[in-house]
A and B are shown apart, each in its own frame.
Chain A
Amino acid sequence: MGSITISKVTKHFGALEVIPPLDLHIEEGEFVVFVGPSGCGKTTLLRLIAGLEDVTSGSVAIDGTDVTQVAAARRGLAMVFQSYALYPHMTVRENIGFPLRMAGIGKAEIARKVETVAETLNLTGHLDARPGQMSGGQRQRVAIGRAIVREPKAFLFDEPLSNLDASLRVNMRLEISELHQRLQTTAIYVTHDQVEAMTMATKIVVLRSGIIEQVGSPMELYNQPRNLFVAGFIGSPKMNFITGEKAAQHDAATIGVRPEHIALSKDAGAWQGAVGIVEHLGSDTFLHVNVSGAGPLTVRVAGELAVNFGDTVFVTPDANRIHRFDAAGNALPRRN
């Protein structure tokens, strides 16, 4: 239960084509993250799957059954909204129980299931509170509770963590991942945050302008980005792109090296450069090094490093970790 197949789906808003013909298959139990910059169509795609938007053409199938013309209410999916979308006039208990009530389940059964879900999510003490009296993190939990209580075929998450502060976001990220481990229900998660995508997904779908740039596991995208866009989008800090003579030496229009794949030395190395801004994170140090003929490069060094603005340093890219791209921006095969 819970495979989703999207075939040749398109979506137009008036004359604007948001999603050009798109195919995607999501296996049962996967945690799929749609990631991409703002306006790339990831939320629209999620809403098409949910049934909150009508497709312009193409079809959506859940468990092999075409649901393109089926109303959102009948698709058996649950959604967690960015704004939480809790019902303010209902208590937490009523909020979580609402999908069961709509499904016509008996009161005793609802009460039992709501209690169980509340226990899983640490909400037992808040069941009679109203959403307005709760913190952002608690509201998020209620929204998740409302989604899991009726055991849907799949969960849809629409940027659920973007309204939380940084530390809470990390906690909730873990909780959602744990929940998925435990329930093994298919999940589709939309975010613009590539860290969330990398840490949570079993499969990442990178979108740009409604087009799927690449689909793969987090490590596939990290190690074998299919083009410049994916290479630049996945990984933090961003991959360094070098054009010109240094790229030509590798028979490519552009070469890319991740900051963590550049070795730094004060004595000797492949390229010489001057240290620009240094960012100390404690666990890591990010250096911005100006290399002649390559431009500014970001270098990531583990731990702390005593270098100052203007120091001369040598950087050496890891030859096995150089990504090559042609003039159109598509990845070229590795040369080892």
Chain B
Amino acid sequence: MTSEANPALFGRIPILGRFGLWIWRNPLIAPALLVVIVVTQAPFILTVIYSLFRWNLQRPENTAFNAFGNYVDIVRDTRFLDSIVTSLTFTVGAVLLSLLVGLIYALLVHDRFFGRGIVRTLLITPFLIMPIIGALAWKYTVLSPIFGVVNWIVRQFGAAPIDWIGMYPVASVVAVLVWRWAPFMMIIILAGLQALDDDQREAARMDGAGPLGEIRFVVLPHLKKYLQLSALLGSIFIVNEFDVIFMLTQGGPGTATTNVPFLIYQSVFYSFDIGHAAAMAVVTVLGTIIIVTYLLKLLGSLMGDLD
């Protein structure tokens, strides 16, 4: 009622048309919206502009309009293509393993046992630790060949310590990502488990299903949508992972763990090549928008038939 009354009260501003109507109706959200536009859209537009220039901070005198030259360069650049593959490897590997570990966590803490509250809190903790600190802890206290817990265990068995990060860089990064993201998956899956009617599990038990049958035939089908939701959200977050790679491997050895965000970072802060970096960023943003739009549509249809 009020939304219809407002235009009559204030009058339309003819030049602004629908926008004028909108501005009257939404004076409260306008400031926040303005801030969001300034801090997200303005940098993106600037990035698009930068990407059209040949611009290296070390040779500012060479700055010139380059049209789509930077884009042609990066498409020819195998490092960029490699980094896309690395990004996908991390995303797929970390998401699948996080789902599996998160599912096990969730099944574990869904059943009542003594100390469940503490265990649940401890399991969630990795997600609450600042990513860079978590990666630092992994680097020096877990995976380090000298001080690491893993190598301490390896030595107890009489084996020689292993330089995990040096020898298995991709696996090491994925391990840290799983450690960090499995709790996130656990929270979503746990919510799904709590929405499952206990009677259904008991009915399955009465119908002769063992513990594994109960999970396979009743729990997992019920969790399908929650698992898909976790996978979608996980992918969106993990595809742009930077902190762990920066702290753990610096993209190395060589370019073994250089994903797209890290390559862009290197282009800006090591090569000072703003034009190239901006072009890669634009391609990444467009690619992400396309993937996310598709995923969100998928998500919408998932949520649609959730009942």
Contacts of A83 on B, CB cut-off 8 Å? 197, 199
Is B206 within 8 A of A77, CB to CB? Answer: yes
- Asked if B253 is an interface residue, CB under 8 A from chain A, the answer is no
- Asked if A222 is an interface residue, CB under 8 A from chain B, the answer is no
Listed stretches B19-27, B63-71, B155-163, B208-216; interface member: B208-216
**Which among B206, B222, B307 is the interface contact of A73 at CB below 8 angstroms?**
B206
- In the bound assembly, the distance between CA atoms of A99 and B204 in angstroms comes to 8
Contact mask for chain B residues 181-220; partner A; CB cutoff 8 A; 1 contact, 0 none: 0000000000000000101101111111110010001100
Q: Which of A43-72 contact B (CB under 8 A)?
A: 50-52, 71-72
- Asked if A81 is an interface residue, CB under 8 A from chain B, the answer is yes
- Asked if A132 is an interface residue, CB under 8 A from chain B, the answer is yes
| CB within 8 Å for A50 and B197 given contacts A98-B217, A102-B213 | no
Is A52 within 8 A of B197, CB to CB? Answer: no
Contacts of A98 on B, CB cut-off 8 Å? 204, 207, 209, 217
- Asked if B43 is an interface residue, CB under 8 A from chain A, the answer is no
Contact mask for chain A residues 215-236; partner B; CB cutoff 8 A; 1 contact, 0 none: 0000000000000000000000
Is B200 within 8 A of A52, CB to CB? Answer: no
Nearest Cβ distance between residue B266 and chain A, in whole angstroms? 48
**Which among B206, B218, B222, B307 is the interface contact of A52 at CB below 8 angstroms?**
B206
- Asked if A78 is an interface residue, CB under 8 A from chain B, the answer is yes
Is A132 within 8 A of B208, CB to CB? Answer: no
Interface size class of A (residues with CB under 8 A): 20 to 34
| CB within 8 Å for A85 and B208 given contacts A98-B217, A102-B213 | no
- Asked if B287 is an interface residue, CB under 8 A from chain A, the answer is no
**Which among B200, B206, B221 is the interface contact of A72 at CB below 8 angstroms?**
B206
Nearest Cβ distance between residue A278 and chain B, in whole angstroms? 43
| CB within 8 Å for A132 and B209 given contacts A85-B200, A98-B217 | no
Is A102 within 8 A of B203, CB to CB? Answer: no
Contacts of A89 on B, CB cut-off 8 Å? 221-222, 224
- In the bound assembly, the distance between CA atoms of A73 and B224 in angstroms comes to 25
Nearest Cβ distance between residue B282 and chain A, in whole angstroms? 43
Nearest Cβ distance between residue B202 and chain A, in whole angstroms? 5
Contacts of A187 on B, CB cut-off 8 Å? none
Nearest Cβ distance between residue B111 and chain A, in whole angstroms? 14
Is A87 within 8 A of B217, CB to CB? Answer: yes
- Asked if A79 is an interface residue, CB under 8 A from chain B, the answer is yes
- In the bound assembly, the distance between CA atoms of A106 and B3 in angstroms comes to 64
Is B208 within 8 A of A52, CB to CB? Answer: no
- In the bound assembly, the distance between CA atoms of A285 and B229 in angstroms comes to 61
Is A132 within 8 A of B307, CB to CB? Answer: yes
- Asked if A103 is an interface residue, CB under 8 A from chain B, the answer is yes
Is B218 within 8 A of A72, CB to CB? Answer: no
- In the bound assembly, the distance between CA atoms of A98 and B209 in angstroms comes to 9
- Asked if A146 is an interface residue, CB under 8 A from chain B, the answer is yes
Contacts of A103 on B, CB cut-off 8 Å? 208
Nearest Cβ distance between residue B233 and chain A, in whole angstroms? 23
Contacts of B200 on A, CB cut-off 8 Å? 85-87
Nearest Cβ distance between residue A93 and chain B, in whole angstroms? 15
Q: Which of B200, B205, B206, B213 has the most CB of A within 10 A?
A: B206
Contacts of A150 on B, CB cut-off 8 Å? 208
Contacts of B206 on A, CB cut-off 8 Å? 50, 52, 72-73, 77-79, 156
Is A72 within 8 A of B205, CB to CB? Answer: yes
Contacts of A82 on B, CB cut-off 8 Å? 199
- In the bound assembly, the distance between CA atoms of A83 and B197 in angstroms comes to 9
Contacts of A146 on B, CB cut-off 8 Å? 203, 207
**Which among B199, B208, B221, B222 is the interface contact of A102 at CB below 8 angstroms?**
B208
Sample of 20 more A-B contacts, CB < 8 Å, known A89-B221, A98-B207: A50-B206, A51-B205, A52-B202, A52-B206, A71-B205, A72-B202, A73-B206, A73-B207, A73-B210, A79-B206, A81-B199, A85-B199, A87-B217, A98-B204, A99-B207, A102-B207, A103-B208, A146-B207, A150-B208, A156-B206
Contact sample, A vs B, 26 pairs, CB 8 Å cutoff: A50-B206, A51-B205, A72-B206, A73-B208, A74-B208, A77-B206, A78-B206, A79-B206, A81-B203, A82-B199, A83-B197, A83-B199, A85-B197, A85-B200, A86-B200, A87-B203, A87-B217, A87-B218, A89-B224, A90-B221, A98-B204, A98-B207, A98-B209, A103-B208, A132-B307, A156-B206
Across the A-B interface, the 9 shortest Cβ-Cβ residue pairs: A85-B199, A102-B208, A85-B203, A99-B207, A89-B221, A79-B206, A72-B205, A81-B199, A73-B208
